[in-house]
Amino acid sequence: MEKKVRVRFAPSPTGGLHLGGVRTVLFNYLFAKHNGGDFILRIEDTDQTRFVEGAEEYIFECLKWCGIEPDESVLHGGPHAPYRQSERKALYKEYADRLVKEGYAYYAFDTAEELDVKRKEIPNFQYSHATRTGLKNSLTLPPDETLKLLDEQTPYVIRIKMPDNEEVSFTDMIRGHVSFNSSLVDDKVLLKADGMPTYHLAVVVDDHLMEITHAFRGEEWLPSAPVHVLLWKYLFGLENMPEWAHLPLILKPDGNGKLSKRDGDRLGFPVFAMNWTDPRSNEFTQGFRERGFLPEAFINMLALLGWNDGTDQEIYSLQELVEKFTMDRVHKGGAKFNYDKAKWFNQEWIKRYSTEQLKPYVKAALAEQGISIPDESKLDRIIELVKDRCTLLSDFAPQSSFFFQHPAEVDITAIKPKWDDKKQQFFAELIRTLELTPVWKHDDLDKEFKEMAAAHQIKPGELMLPLRIMLVGGKFGPGVFDIAEIIGKEQTIERIKNTLKLISNA
């Protein structure tokens, strides 16, 4: 009987969630759900010096916004609790001690100062098979001295004893056969002086105890793979090791190197899922959510950074991604991040959203700009009129504010070059006509306007731009007579009068 698929995302609560991290979550989740499995979220907080207040809550909020719900976690509970590594501390020492006992690891008593001296003496110093014989550890000290140091509670770490010149290999679901020479890998610390495990030991022990069947992580973890393969071999047997996949990097827009927060700051786009303020430095970083992205668009964009289903389809719901996702379609090479393409996904999802779905977002965008909505009955129609013009949710404010308030500025510089007495006369007469218009509907206003233009022997096109600028303040917005109908007779006339006054004053 095949094992039930179990995957995990194991973030460290050290700061904002980079879009590469969210993509790792997403690929884990899609694979699990496609195969009827479980998605586990485990908090890897073994490095207490890097722990940041609020970061764990932030991770859960990001996933919630993305629509990704773990089956087991700190919040959801589950049969393999606790899901926070710092609460599992007692477990790890037992495995570290077993490795020492069986000769696969050793106690190292070197102080930080002693190691600093070695770093100065030996260029590119690594604690490894080449240097360990000249250092203070249980491999070089007589057994009675090692016991004495342990009895005296001398601080120590436990390091893996990497074999010399051994091929360590595994099959990666994306990269195929991957092989390393053990001589090139240093003796990683497995258990720190404070009794906390490092990532290397904790990830193997927890994946075993939580019955993880598949482990997906970024390709930056490939150099650590030989350590993990050997730990699986020594502790639990290679036949029990999860299948691994090392995901390609998300690259800078020019393709040169991994995308970083600094690239986002430099090029003006977010790289975190949501806003994050680092409580240690008070440094603020904007996220995709607050920039005006819909969660569906964010997820859709991320899925296609390094994966496709072999067709030309680009727009996918989360459910469609679950149905179509397979690891054999994940690319080996890195994927360039393209912010314009990300915005395109968002625009497409805004178009697909119903008016009812968009309404809370539009209200929030308007409220953020201090725009109140005195008459909500018109909101549905306004959303339908402007949604195709919005790339980000924040665009709804500038694209619709003029429906609710007088434009703050009117771009008369765009009217003046082609303005003349004939046009001045036309609009003066238009005001009188509009004041007497009994039916205030789009089609009637359009017909009346065109008839007047013909009577004044002016092409309607020459008059539409000035009228648009009078009503909205600039060269944008939906149909002019749709706007006039919604803002009503009084506002339409008032805005035309106001612009005529501005032109004559200028």
Residue boundaries of the structural domains of the chain: 6-73+249-340, 86-207, 353-403, 412-505
- Provide, rounded to the nearest whole percent, the portion of the chain with pLDDT above 70: 100
* pTM of the predicted structure, to 2 decimals: 0.92
How many angstroms separate the Cα of 258 from the Cα of each of 263, 275, 314, 336, 417?
9, 21, 24, 9, 50
The SS3 of residue 420 is: coil
Question: Which stretch of DSSP H or E encloses residue 469?
Answer: helix 460-472
How many angstroms separate the Cα of 505 from the Cα of each of 245, 412, 428, 498?
69, 11, 16, 11
pLDDT at 374: 77
261 marked as part of a ligand binding site: yes
pLDDT, tens digit, 9 for 90 and up, residues 329-350: 999 999 999 999 999 999 999 9
How many angstroms separate the Cα of 368 from the Cα of each of 15, 291, 392, 401?
26, 12, 14, 11
pLDDT at 402: 96
- Among 1.10.10, 2.40.50, 1.10.8, 1.10.3470, what is the CATH number of 353-403? 1.10.8
- Give 153's Cβ-side CA count (13 Å radius): 2
Return d(Cα 355, Cα 384) in angstroms, integer.
Answer: 7
pLDDT tens, per residue, the chain with 506 residues: 678 999 999 999 999 999 999 999 999 999 999 999 999 999 999 887 888 999 999 999 999 999 999 999 999 999 999 999 999 999 999 999 999 999 999 999 999 999 999 999 999 999 999 999 999 999 999 999 999 999 999 999 999 999 999 999 999 999 999 999 999 999 999 999 999 999 999 999 999 999 999 999 999 999 999 999 999 999 999 999 999 999 999 999 999 999 999 999 999 999 999 999 999 999 999 999 999 999 999 999 999 999 999 999 999 999 999 999 999 999 999 999 999 999 999 999 999 999 999 999 999 999 999 998 877 889 999 999 999 999 999 999 999 999 999 999 999 999 999 999 999 999 999 999 999 999 999 999 999 999 999 999 999 999 999 999 999 999 999 999 999 999 999 999 999 999 999 999 87
- Smallest CA-to-CA distance from 399 within 472, 470, 343, 292 is with 472
How many angstroms separate the Cα of 417 from the Cα of each of 43, 51, 349, 414?
64, 62, 39, 7
pLDDT at 117: 94
Q: Is the peptide bond before 82 cis (omega within 30 degrees of 0)?
A: yes
Return d(Cα 278, Cα 284) in angstroms, integer.
Answer: 7
Tokens representing 444?
């009637």
In DSSP terms, which residues pair with 105 in a beta bridge? 160
- Smallest CA-to-CA distance from 42 within 205, 220, 274, 248 is with 205
How many angstroms separate the Cα of 122 from the Cα of each of 116, 126, 137, 214?
10, 9, 18, 39
Whether 6-73+249-340 and 353-403 share one fold: the answer is no
- Among 1.10.10.350, 3.40.50.1110, 3.20.20.70, 3.40.47.10, what is the CATH number of 412-505? 1.10.10.350
pLDDT at 373: 87
Query: Which DSSP state fits 273?
Result: S
- Give 68's Cβ-side CA count (13 Å radius): 33
pLDDT at 485: 97
- Smallest CA-to-CA distance from 470 within 501, 448, 447, 439 is with 501
Return d(Cα 22, Cα 302) in angstroms, integer.
Answer: 8
CB 129 within 8 A of CB 235: no
In DSSP terms, which residues pair with 250 in a beta bridge? 335
- Among 3.90.800.10, 3.60.20.10, 3.40.50.300, 1.10.3720.10, what is the CATH number of 86-207? 3.90.800.10
Tokens representing 46?
């073994």
- Catalytic positions are 261
CB 214 within 8 A of CB 22: no
- 301: amino acid identity, one letter: M
User: Which CATH number is 6-73+249-340 given?
Assistant: 3.40.50.620
pLDDT at 111: 96
Q: Which is it for strands 157-160 and 189-191: parallel, antiparallel or unpaired?
A: antiparallel
- 163: amino acid identity, one letter: P
Phi, psi angle pair for 258, to nearest 5° = -70, 140
Return d(Cα 308, Cα 327) in angstroms, integer.
Answer: 10
